[in-house]
Structure 1
Amino acid sequence: MEFRLLGPVEATIADHPVQLGGVKPRTLLAALLVEHGHVVPAERLVDVIWGDGPPGTARAVLQTYVSTLRRSLGGGVGTAIVTRSPGYLIRIGAATLDRDLFEEMLAQGRWAATAGRHEEAVELIRRAGGQWRGAALGGVESELLAGEAARLEELRLTAVEERTGIELLLGRTEQVAAELTDLVRRHPFRERMRGQLMRALSALGRRPDALAVYRDGRESMVDELGIEPGPEIQAIHEAILREEPDRHRPPPSA
């Protein structure tokens, strides 16, 4: 059995989707998976599912949702939703959770990068990113789960920045420039990402484009956030203005 949080919340058995019911049972499953192996108090589950306005029958309905999920997941070997005071926990046994796979592969990629194994690091971090299918915890409606969704999204973008940074070290400037052009458009205030795009464009001999990327970002930050770009991206901008070599790149071999 596989569980998925990095996109629409899903469960599959032998690659066949499990019918989870409506939004609320799906939200319950997401809340249990986020803390799998740990007891989630029934009171918290009620808050996750209904927010500030739970019905008077919330506890009884919660029990119904738990029973429904148990039946739906019954074919998953090693998977169980267990009643344990003061609430419930889910054991996923040999099942896989895409969030855990993502974080594990990202950690391995970071370790490889620290050890100087850059090609391996890129491959591992790219595989980690391949776990994503859309916005985290898609299809659930819960303010209490929004923090986990935001944490995962930030980690995803950080992983992209770490991978593209390594790829710049490897000289993959065209690939990085193509990928980051769209990402910077969608995430205009991520300065690390914007700085990497500037470096890639400059390395490709597209100095005016690199300077324009900085100028556009600065205008957006000043107009919408009322702040100037940070020191790191300013240093990249100044280095491009002075046509200095990229200090992040290794020197060419003799």
Structure 2
Amino acid sequence: MRFSVLGSIEVTSDAGPLELGGIKQRAILGYLVLHANKVVPTSRLLQAMWEGAPPPTARKMIQNAVSGIRRVLTGPGASLRTHAPGYQLHVDTETVDLHRFRALARAGRAAIGDGEPERGAELLRSALSLWRGPALADLVEAGYRWSELAAVEDERLSTLEDRLEAELVCGRHREITPELEVLTATEPLRERLCQQFMLALYRSGRQADALRIYRRTRAALVDSLGLEPGRDLQELQQRILDHDVAIQLTVTGQ
């Protein structure tokens, strides 16, 4: 049995995808998968399922949903246990795409740290390929806005930034420029993406465009947060202006 949360929630057995029931049952299952192998108190489920005060029947609704989930998880490899003060979804983490993503991301970062950027980039690409859309996209569409989902999305973006950093080290600045164009437009406040875009443009002989991206990012930060760009971004701008050899491409054979 395999659990997928990097996109709409899915549970798959050897026979194919399983029918997961209505939105409340899917939401409770999704929340438990995010916290796989940990005890989730009923009080936290109540907070996650209802904004504000839950209805008087909320605990009964959770109990009914849990019973429904147990009927779905009849095959080997997963069980939903009552464990005071709540519930625990017991699974092999290898069956959860979020945990496989994290394991691949750790391996990729370790490879980069060991001086193997090519291997690191490959592992990070494999990690990111597990994503089919926003985490629990169907539940987000239904109005669920859990802090855990924002944290998982930040994990995805940080992994993406690490992969792009490795690509730059490998000399693939021209290849990643179109991707960075889109990313910096959709995530205008992430300074690391801006730095990577500026560096890719500069190494592609587009100094004026790199400086334009700095101005665009600075304006977004000032307008949205009232903040100037961080020190690293300001230093990169100055190095581009100075044609600093330290930011020139040094990959052998490029």
Same fold (TM over 0.5): yes
- Summarize the alignment of residues 208-223 of structure 1 with structure 2, pairs less than 5 Å apart: 208-223=208-223
- Percent of aligned pairs sharing the same letter: 37
Per-residue deviation, 1:177:
1.0
Aligned to 2:207: 207
Question: What are the ranges of 5 or more consecutive residues in structure 1 without an aligned counterpart?
Answer: none
| Residues 212 and 103 of structure 1, relative CA distance in 2, 3 Å threshold | same
Q: Is 1:159 matched up with 2:154?
A: no
Per-residue deviation, 1:116:
0.5
Q: Is 1:29 matched up with 2:29?
A: yes
Structure 1 residues 140-175: Cα deviation after superposition (integer angstroms, max 9, x where no partner): 269996211111111111111111111111100111
Q: Is 1:82 matched up with 2:81?
A: yes
SS at match of 1:20: coil
- Summarize the alignment of residues 77-156 of structure 1 with structure 2, pairs less than 5 Å apart: 77-93=76-92, 96-140=95-139, 146-156=146-156
Amino acid at match of 1:77: P
Aligned to 2:186: 186
The answer to whether the 8 A contact 2:78-2:89 is kept is: yes
| Residues 48 and 125 of structure 1, relative CA distance in 2, 3 Å threshold | same
Equivalents in 1 of 2:174, 2:251: separation in Å?
18
Q: Which runs of 4+ in 1 moved over 6 A?
A: 142-145
The answer to whether the 8 A contact 2:94-2:100 is kept is: no
| Residues 139 and 130 of structure 1, relative CA distance in 2, 3 Å threshold | same
Pick which of 242-251 and 144-153 moved more.
242-251
Structure 1 residues 61-86: Cα deviation after superposition (integer angstroms, max 9, x where no partner): 21111111111221x32211112222
Amino acid at match of 2:79: A
Per-residue deviation, 1:248:
7.1
Aligned to 1:67: 67
Pick which of 21-30 and 89-98 moved more.
89-98
The answer to whether the 8 A contact 2:6-2:133 is kept is: yes
Equivalents in 2 of 1:252, 1:160: separation in Å?
24
Aligned to 1:171: 171
Q: TM-score, normalised by structure 2?
A: 0.92
- Summarize the alignment of residues 6-45 of structure 1 with structure 2, pairs less than 5 Å apart: 6-14=6-14, 16-45=16-45
Equivalents in 1 of 2:21, 2:248: separation in Å?
51
SS at match of 1:112: helix
Equivalents in 1 of 2:236, 2:185: separation in Å?
19
| Residues 232 and 93 of structure 1, relative CA distance in 2, 3 Å threshold | closer
Per-residue deviation, 1:230:
1.1
Pick which of 242-251 and 160-169 moved more.
242-251
Amino acid at match of 2:227: I
| Residues 246 and 186 of structure 1, relative CA distance in 2, 3 Å threshold | farther
Per-residue deviation, 1:249:
4.2
The answer to whether the 8 A contact 1:109-1:124 is kept is: yes
Structure 1 residues 199-244: Cα deviation after superposition (integer angstroms, max 9, x where no partner): 1111111111111111111122222222211111111111111122
Aligned to 1:250: 250
The answer to whether the 8 A contact 2:168-2:200 is kept is: yes
Structure 1 residues 184-206: Cα deviation after superposition (integer angstroms, max 9, x where no partner): 00000111111111111111111
Amino acid at match of 1:151: A
The answer to whether the 8 A contact 2:39-2:83 is kept is: yes
